[in-house]
Structure 1
Amino acid sequence: MAQTNDPSLWRDHLPWPDATSHKHSRGRLAVVSGGPLNTGAARLAARAGLRVGAGLVKVLCPPAAAPIVAGALEAVMVEAFTSPEALEALAEPMDAVVIGPAAGLNEATVQNLAALARTGAALVVDADALTIFKGRGVDLFASLDRDDVLTPHEGEFERVFPGLLANGREAAAGEAARQSGAHVVLKGAQTVIAAPDGRTCVNPNGSPWLATAGSGDVLAGLIGGLVAQGMPTFDAASAAVWMHAAAAERFGPGLIAEDLPHLIPSILTALREGG
């Protein structure tokens, strides 16, 4: 039976730095960007990962996109790759990688995901990196393991897991996690988080202000940032979903995705203080 997502379930697993912490010990996150006209989604995810505590965040992008990304970011680092093999080498030292936000609906995204699967990094697979596997979910599942996370909205979910939604959202997410061997975050008004071991929780604090372009990219970055810091994947996904919604509700009308990362510190402070 699904639990109700609540900070009491995961607050004790939140990663906090101590006096001995340094940027590498706080987790290394990479985000794969699309081409020069498709960098915004990766930048949103990267800022979210940095704000949620990852000590080192990089955007990995095609060479033509590098000047655009580098000109729009400060603390987030930028490195360019020209092939899946080069991407693999850049991602090898990272603890988690987000792939999918505006990555491109082409075979390069398929090859890049396969390359990332050969590293030791946990993967957060979103957006284009889900849609490109429409009708061939088995190929996607071959690149996943139990530490990875899929973050589909219902449309993307149906492309990868056709027909499962007919059983209801909770059952569908649970079966998708079982089939894929990875965690599944089925986004919506009541987002469902499902683990491949059968655990499921439903998020109660969904906010209508999240119905804005780019908010899902921020969520992917939050999940990646927490996983990079060593938080168990199910707890990281649950915490990220809750914080994402809490931040949106705190801002209210007029929210755009760019606002969300800046709200995360106040949410973290309240959680640390027991609120």
Structure 2
Amino acid sequence: MTRPTLPDWRDSLPWPETGTHKHARGRLGVVSGKATQTGAARLAARAGLRIGAGLVRILCPPDAAPVIAPAVEAVMLSPFGSPEGLAEAAEGMDAMVIGPAAGVTEATQANVRALAVTGAALVVDADGLTVFEGWPDDLFEVLDRDDVLTPHEGEFERVFPGLLAAGREAAAAEAARRAGAVVVLKGPATVIAAPDGRLAVNGNGSPWLATAGSGDVLAGMIGGLMAQRMDSFDAARAAAWMHAEAARGFGPGLIAEDLPERLPAVLAALYGRAG
């Protein structure tokens, strides 16, 4: 298989310099679901750490803390008991990922709204999108241009009903305009659209990404780059490419847990071509 041509976003990847400390590399938070649904958040958090965020914290319901604590090391942990508690726990975060296995509940809606006023750039994925089915304007009104939505086609249809009939690229562009945020329409050729009209199609998709949890890893990767203050559209483009490149490098037998462990090699190849 031919290695894909490296795209232009590589020039804006955030590389540490001499004297860089962990807080300068960005702070990423990931919201976990309940005790029986913590794996998605752990995947996203590890991906954010691997892609360079200097500090990563999982914010979780109290019942999930005893499950998560033995399963993480460098990733920190903060329990919260209410939307207000979540906002407080997220204080100082540069980016937040919410949605992976969060639960399709009113609490998830409230948590998205709570995070929207923290100043952190948001990655809203999975349940964080589905929970607004029928009330998409309630989601759009709390977003801004630095936020990113990461739906697969099913989630996209729930939040943007009917748009896919126009084709994936046109649908993503219109969705970004309506939401006022970056939209990552996942698939074999992932489409990334910004509300200012920028649009890109990821050209190195891999069939090995058709495995549970790979989308959670992508959300964490995007969040990790955003935490390092990379432009959200470029962060989404870069993460989509690196996500597929990591899968290509692993090949058959890939599971989502393998993806973060492939990122150092992908990053090293990009670093060698930086400048």
TM range (shorter): over 0.9
SS at match of 2:17: coil
Q: Deviations along 1:57-100, whole A, 9 cap, x unmatched? A: 00000011001111100000000000100100111210000000
Taking every aligned residue pair, what percent have the same amino acid on both sides?
A: 71
Aligned to 2:258: 259
Q: Deviations along 1:224-253, whole A, 9 cap, x unmatched? A: 000000111111000000000000011000
Unaligned runs of 5+ in 1: none
Counterpart Cα distance in 2 of 1:175 and 1:81: 36
Cα contact 1:7–1:239 (8 A) shared by 2:
no
Q: Deviations along 1:31-69, whole A, 9 cap, x unmatched? A: 000000000000000000000000000000001100111
Counterpart Cα distance in 2 of 1:147 and 1:6: 27
Aligned to 1:191: 190
SS at match of 1:257: coil
Aligned positions of 1:103-252 closer than 5 A = 103-252=102-251
Aligned to 1:41: 40
After superposition, the Cα gap between the structure-2 partners of 1:179 and 1:56, relative to the gap in structure 1 and judged at 3 Å, is: same
Normalising by structure 1, report the TM-score: 0.97
SS at match of 1:264: helix
SS at match of 2:104: coil
Counterpart Cα distance in 2 of 1:39 and 1:67: 11
Counterpart Cα distance in 2 of 1:260 and 1:199: 28
Counterpart Cα distance in 1 of 2:142 and 2:111: 11
Counterpart Cα distance in 2 of 1:32 and 1:6: 35
Aligned to 1:92: 91
Cα deviation, residue 182, structure 1 = 0.2
Cα deviation, residue 8, structure 1 = 3.0
Aligned to 1:269: 268
SS at match of 1:25: helix
SS at match of 1:24: helix
Counterpart Cα distance in 2 of 1:101 and 1:265: 23
TM-align CA RMSD: 1.0
Aligned to 1:81: 80
Counterpart Cα distance in 1 of 2:107 and 2:19: 40
SS at match of 1:165: helix
After superposition, the Cα gap between the structure-2 partners of 1:105 and 1:74, relative to the gap in structure 1 and judged at 3 Å, is: same
Which amino acid counterpart does residue 22 of structure 1 have in structure 2? Answer: H
Q: How many residues align?
A: 271
SS at match of 1:196: coil
Counterpart Cα distance in 1 of 2:159 and 2:186: 14
Cα deviation, residue 6, structure 1 = 6.1
Cα contact 1:147–1:182 (8 A) shared by 2:
yes
Q: Deviations along 1:137-179, whole A, 9 cap, x unmatched? A: 1001011000000000000000000000000000000000000
Unaligned runs of 5+ in 2: none
Answer with 217-226 or 17-26: which moved more.
17-26
Counterpart Cα distance in 1 of 2:5 and 2:224: 19
SS at match of 1:15: coil
Cα contact 1:6–1:242 (8 A) shared by 2:
no
Counterpart Cα distance in 2 of 1:19 and 1:272: 15
